[in-house]
Amino acid sequence: MDNINFHKNSKVKELIESVGASILFLPTYSPDLNPIEHYWFKIKHQINASFVLIEELNS
């Protein structure tokens, strides 16, 4: 989990622990360790690949 303030809230911590899970905070500025960042990269790549370039429109 990233280190944003509301993830460190005691109610959030209690809720997570109430279902038997534990919290593991990621080091600051380490998107390579955050699995969701890999998915965002793939999604952005697919979106960008679906657009036509200006050069292609002009030809």
> Count of domains in the chain?
1
What's the CA gap between 14 and 42, in Å, rounded? 33
Higher pLDDT, 18 or 4: 18
Helix, strand, coil fractions of the chain, as percent rounded to 5: 60, 0, 40
- Is the confidence at residue 37, as pLDDT, over 90? no
Higher pLDDT, 30 or 15: 15
What's the CA gap between 37 and 42, in Å, rounded? 9
- Is the confidence at residue 2, as pLDDT, over 70? no
Range of the domain at 13: 5-58
Overall pTM > 0.75: no
pLDDT for 3: 62
